[in-house]
Amino acid sequence: MDRAIHDRDKATNQAKAIRKQSSKITSDLMSADATVNRLRAERNDLRRVVSELRGGVESLNLKQIDKVEMELTAALKNVGKVKERKVKEALVTEEEKRMCVVCQTEVKSVLLMPCRHMCLCKDCSRNNAMDKCPLCRVKITQKIDVFA
C-alpha cells in the first residue's frame, strides 16, 4: 500500500515536471516563431527596397521615394557604424601587436637570440631577471636592439 502511494506520488511529480518542461518548450517555440516572423518581415522589406532600386526610382511616387531614402540612409548609417567599429578594433589589435609583452606600454624593440622573438622593449630587456624568452622560455644568449 505504501509502495503504491509512493509510486503514485512519484508519477505525479514526474507528470508535473513534464508539464512544466512542455510549457517552457512551448513558450520558447512561440518566441522563436515571433523572431522568425520578424526576420521574414525585415527580409521582405529589404527585398522590396532592392527591387525598387533595381527598377529605378522613376516609377515611385514622392512618398515612396522618401521612404526608400530614409531606409537607405538608416542602412548606410548602420554600415558606417559597423565599419568604424571594425577599423577601431583593427587599429587596437595592430597597436597591441607592437607592444612589449611584459610591460604592454612600450614598443617592442629588442630581438632575442637564439629564438629570434621580438617581444620586449629596451627597458624590459635590460632587466637582469629576464634570462628566458617570455614567449617560448628558451634561454636568451643575446639581445639585439632593433631600430625600425
Mean per-residue pLDDT, 104-132: 93
More confident residue, 102 or 64: 102
Three cell numbers, residue 66: 522618401
Tell whether 7 and 60 lie within a shared domain.
yes
Tell whether 31 and 65 lie within a shared domain.
yes
**Closest of 119, 115, 125 to residue 107, by C-alpha:** 119
pTM of the model: 0.42
Does residue 105 belong to any structural domain of this protein? no
Structural domain that includes position 141:
110-145
Report the first-to-last Cα separation within the chain, whole angstroms.
Answer: 89
Tell whether 93 and 133 lie within a shared domain.
no
Neighbours of 112 (CB within 10 A): 24
Number of domains in the chain: 2
Sequence-distant (6+) residues with CB within 8 A of 107 are 98, 99, 100, 121
